Amino acid sequence: MDAQLVRAIITVESNFNPWAISRAGAQGLMQLMPATAAHYGVTDPFDPKANIEGGMRLLKDLWRRYRGDIRRVLAAYNAGDRAVKRYGGIPPYPETQRYVARVLALYNTYGASSRIYRYRTARGRLLFTDTPR
């Protein structure tokens, strides 16, 4: 998964607040709904590592389903897969349309990278980066 895409999604979803909770009940950095978190094995949505890994698994599934159509992937991430299927693309929801535009704008600003690497620091903390060791 592209590190800069994940970075753009986290920025829009939670502005990097691991304790964020939306009015709809989405939780954590990547704003996973409880059912989605459970589906992807995320037991603590406020744990940044678990939340990012669950969000990335969801993104990978959507990426495969929509064959890399980033606009549909982002729309499904925000509005749900059913809404994208129902409308054959980005649903006519203002929130979703703004979401897709904001994530894409940030993604283009950040520039694309090829992958996210996960490392443990000397102190045992988890580090996500787009720079290989």
53-99 confidence digits (pLDDT tens): 999 999 999 999 999 999 999 999 999 999 999 999 999 999 999 99
Q: Taking the model in full, what pTM does it have?
A: 0.83
Looking at the predicted structure, is the pLDDT value of residue 132 above 80? no
Active site residue 13: yes
**Residue found by looking up tokens 């990547």 in the block:** 30
Q: In total, how many domains does the chain have?
A: 1
Task: Name the phi and psi angles at 35, rounded to 5.
Answer: -65, -40
Do the beta carbons of residue 85 and residue 69 sit within 8 Å? no
Find the CATH number of the domain harbouring 115: 1.10.530.10
Neighbouring CB atoms inside 10 A of 48's CB total: 17
Structure token digits, residue 88 = 């054959």
Choosing from 3, 8, 13, 27, which is the catalytic residue? 13
Neighbouring CB atoms inside 10 A of 95's CB total: 10
Return mean pLDDT, the chain. Answer: 93
Residue ranges making up the domain that contains 116:
3-129
Res. 133 pLDDT band, cuts 50 70 90: low
Average pLDDT over residues 111-125: 75
Instruction: Please choose, from the candidates 4, 5, 15, the residue with its C-alpha nearest in 3D space to the C-alpha of residue 131.
Output: 4
